Amino acid sequence: MSGQHQLTEELGPTRVVVDLALAQLAGGHVMRRLWQRDRRLWATEEPADKDHLRWLDIPERDSAALGALTTLAREARAAGYRRALVMGVGGAVLAPALYRCAFDVPEGFLDLAIVDTTHPATVGSLTASVDPEQTLFIAAAPSGAAVETLALLKHFFGHASARLGGSHVGEHFVTVTDPGSPLAEIAEDWSFRAAILVVGDDANLCTALTPYGLLPAALMGHDVDRLLDRAREMAGWCGPDVPVEDNPASRLGVILAELARAGRDKLTLLVSNEALGQCFGDWLEQLVSGRTGKDGRGILPVVGEPLGLPSEYGPDRLFVCLDCDESKDLDLEALKDSGHPLVRLRLRDRFDLGGQVVLWDLATAVACHRLQVDPVDRPDEAPSAEASRRIIDVFKESGELALPTPALSDGVLTIFGDVTAETPLEAFKDFLARIRPPEYLAIMAYLAPDEATTELLEAFRDKLRLELGVAVTTSFGPRCLHTTGQLHKGDGGHGRFLLITADDPQDVKVPDEMGFQQGVVSFSTLTRALAVGDHQALREGGRKALRIHLGEEVVTGLTALTRAYDPRRTSSFPPAAR
């Protein structure tokens, strides 16, 4: 199956602008310049540091380095490890999560668990279930300095030290990070089993075909050679000499950008396999959001949303369907007949995910060229981190968590933000009044990402989507800071942001130093500081943001919010133009 036959599209009247953009791409030799790492495609000047866009040679470069990863995986099995625990946030852990979801683990290889939250209930539950004697701990962070990753590493290193004792605890730990990063220094100081150093200016985004993704895949016994073969195959189909009309990356990238410029900036992902769809969607979300959401422009990925009736969608949607192996077909006829633009990507089997990684890496780079935003720069993530850091610093000095004064409370729901209503539920409904496309609602739940809470959030999202008639996204905090945080603060300001927090009946301390278990700050304090800091940064950035605190009654609070919107009607939009 050739690359162009893996991608088909039905674009209606937008076909004209897409064809024009492809012609401009060809005239500007954009694909050739992209493969030559010409940063002037997005920036006015070539940077002095030439070590950029290294992800373009990932399939070849990391194929050569694959031997070291497979050797480490083989040694881990021989040493008696039966489980791997990956600690990190953002792209560093979303690629391992994708591979864990896509493939079964053969007998004799390591089961993989991932912790990308600082919620104390999740951290405590994982701690109780982990046997350090049989667990290989992997701290993964491209920047090496994310406060969440460092907190998780110190906690699990302290747990392993208490259980194992002795001076050989470091042998149970591996880090994947940048050269010279704090994690690299920790690995050397504490004699980790391995420190795998990855160089790249945009490694925060392009991790699936680097050791961030390939080491966990090798530990799980996946055929990483085959994944890289499919990556190389797609790279050939998207190469610099392939005509733009036959090049899947140039076609997909232009479609994403030109439809976003025409108002269809809600990239709605449909996947014929529900479980794979959520994992692939999470990976895609951080890639597209982190690359395009800046300078007042962006593309919002909408993932995990059930396929609805065409009349339920506004004129701001672009649908992309990923057709997987051994999966049911999605009924897209009504969607196509209504005139909504649709792109279909066909996978022969799960190993084509290696090709999809390359395709979307290249396509989003092309889209950024058309939108004229830098795919590497992430300027709008810093305010949240800085606000949270100030809150934590004050806590360390005073022992008190400096929280803003609530605007309203009824004993179940407490509201933080600018409101004029008299009750929390009225304030919540006022916040969402008159929202219409192209606006969207982003729900960021700084709650334990357990099954019950996830189901409640999905029900909440679906009711709001039907009642409000806008795209609604859900994500757990603080992982959302590293996936959609850049877009939320850097796009065109169309979002409304609902942050949900709660009290934690049980807490877990973050060790002050490696090798210890006690500390001043707890995971509950850290999570609350990250949520409050994000809310503050959104408001200071001119975004419409409301925080609702549920106390200890998470189920009661979420149920009350869900019932506040009872969709007795379905929002209806006129058919899309054909």
Query: Quick one: which H or E segment has residue 104?
Result: none
Tell me the C-alpha distance between 282 and 434, whole Å.
Answer: 29
The answer, yes or no, to whether residue 280 has pLDDT greater than 50, is yes
The answer, yes or no, to whether residue 572 has pLDDT greater than 50, is no
What's the pLDDT at 365?
Answer: 93
The answer, yes or no, to whether residue 240 has pLDDT greater than 70, is yes
Q: Does some domain include residue 275?
A: yes
The reply to whether 468 and 425 lie within a common domain is yes
* Per-residue pLDDT band at 278 (split at 50, 70, 90): confident
What's the pLDDT at 578?
Answer: 43
**Higher-pLDDT residue of 112, 411:** 112
What's the pLDDT at 205?
Answer: 58
Instruction: Tell me which amino acid residue 104 is.
Output: D
Coil, strand, or helix at residue 413? coil
**CA dist 245 → 1, 101, 345 (Å):** 17, 33, 16
Query: Quick one: which H or E segment has residue 359?
Result: helix 353-371
Q: Is 176:198 a contact under the CB 8 Å cutoff?
A: yes
What is the pTM for the complete model shown?
0.93
Domain residues for the domain of 334 are: 247-371
Which of 371, 393, 422 terminates a domain? The answer is 371
The reply to whether 362 and 443 lie within a common domain is no
The reply to whether 164 and 186 lie within a common domain is yes
Among 533, 473, 538, CA closest to 501: 533
Q: Is 146:175 a contact under the CB 8 Å cutoff?
A: no
pLDDT digits (tens, 9 = 90+) for 450-500: 999 999 999 999 999 999 999 999 999 999 999 999 999 999 889 999 999
CB-neighbour burial class of residue 389 (10 A; exposed 0-12, middle 13-18, buried 19+):
middle
Mean pLDDT of 32-55: 73
Mean pLDDT of 203-223: 85
* DSSP class per residue in 46-80: --S-----GGGGHHHHHHHTHHHHHHHHHHHHHTT
What's the pLDDT at 198?
Answer: 84
Mean pLDDT of 54-62: 62
Tell me the C-alpha distance between 54 and 269, whole Å.
Answer: 27
Q: What does the block give as tokens for 481?
A: 């800071």
Among 325, 346, 365, CA closest to 238: 365
The reply to whether 349 and 283 lie within a common domain is yes
Coil, strand, or helix at residue 114? strand
pLDDT > 90: percent of the chain: 71
The reply to whether 360 and 436 lie within a common domain is no
Q: Is 160:132 a contact under the CB 8 Å cutoff?
A: yes
The reply to whether 308 and 386 lie within a common domain is no
Tell me the C-alpha distance between 87 and 93, whole Å.
Answer: 7
**Higher-pLDDT residue of 242, 575:** 242
Per DSSP (E only), the strands in 413-460 are: 414-416, 440-445
Which of 342, 371, 400 terminates a domain? The answer is 371
**Higher-pLDDT residue of 323, 51:** 323
Contacts of 31 (CB under 8 A, 6+ apart): 25, 238, 239, 240, 242, 244, 247, 249, 250, 366
* Tally of CB atoms within 10 A around 251: 25
- Mean pLDDT score of the chain, rounded to an integer? 89
Preceding peptide of 315 cis, ω within 30°: no
Mean pLDDT of 421-434: 93
Q: Does some domain include residue 512?
A: yes
The reply to whether 276 and 387 lie within a common domain is no
Q: Does some domain include residue 30?
A: no
Tell me the C-alpha distance between 149 and 159, whole Å.
Answer: 15
* Per-residue pLDDT band at 61 (split at 50, 70, 90): low
The answer, yes or no, to whether residue 247 has pLDDT greater than 90, is yes
CATH number for 179: 3.40.50.10490
What's the pLDDT at 569?
Answer: 41
What's the pLDDT at 123?
Answer: 97
What's the pLDDT at 564?
Answer: 85
Q: Where are the alpha helices (DSSP H) in 103-223?
A: 120-129, 147-164, 182-189, 211-219
pLDDT digits (tens, 9 = 90+) for 141-186: 987 668 999 999 999 999 999 999 877 999 999 999 988 899 999 9
Among 431, 442, 447, CA closest to 474: 442
What's the pLDDT at 58?
Answer: 63
Q: Does some domain include residue 426?
A: yes
What's the pLDDT at 573?
Answer: 46
Q: Does some domain include residue 487?
A: yes
The answer, yes or no, to whether residue 31 has pLDDT greater than 60, is yes
Among 360, 345, 81, CA closest to 207: 360
Query: Quick one: which H or E segment has residue 136?
Result: strand 135-141
The reply to whether 388 and 361 lie within a common domain is no
> How many domains in the chain?
3
